Amino acid sequence: MSDLTDRLYLPSATHAPLYFPDYKTTRLRSPSKDLILIPERLGEITGPVFGDGDVTSEESDMTIANGGEAIGQRIIVHGQVRDSNNKPVPDTLIEVWQANAAGRYRHRNDSWPAPLDPHFNGVARTLTDAQGNYEFTTIKPGAYPWGNHHNAWRPAHIHFSLFGRAYTERLVTQMYFPDDPFF
């Protein structure tokens, strides 16, 4: 196996297997063939680079918009980005987005009839510091119905997008709340 393949297929004690036949999603989505490495181009290796002037500290607060404060339980979400060797990763661009306290996204395709909060923008971004730390100020998002099955509700969650040294190095994931009744 290549170095990349070795890193992607870590021991099962570290990660769940990519293919788990009892779970329908992995049967449909897991790779059936070996990985194909695509050569990196110069732009993917050298940039983009985000600096302190590109992302401002005000962009990490979702609770103040249009001259007022957002409705909902104010929370601070913080953490640290670490690499596969458990070392802090500085200057990582982190973008987050979420629904408001009523479970509504500020997005034209969100048809859930919950009210929009004019003082909550629902998006933020920041860069990790020299130790890989980050922090966002937001409100606890609300749950909302979704079409998975009859009367299904999506638990409260926050979407995360982390960019590595290039746009091709991106992780998109979600953070849930352990006390959520739908979790």
Active site amino acids: 105, 144, 154, 157, 159
| Separation CA 60–CA 158 (nearest Å) | 14
Residue 142: name the closest of 78, 80, 94, 75 by CA.
Answer: 75
Compute φ and ψ for 168, nearest 5 degrees: -75, -10
- Which positions ≥6 away from 111 have C-beta within 8 Å? none
In the chain, the largest separation of any two C-alpha atoms, in whole Å, equals 56
Tokens of 27: 């049967």
Q: Which residues pair with 65 in a beta bridge?
A: 68
Residues 123/96, Cβ–Cβ less than 8 Å: yes
DSSP letters, 147-176, are: TTSTT-EEPPEEEEEEE-SSTTSEEEEEEE
CA gap 86, 2 in Å, rounded: 21
Sign, CA dihedral 116-135-164-9, equals negative
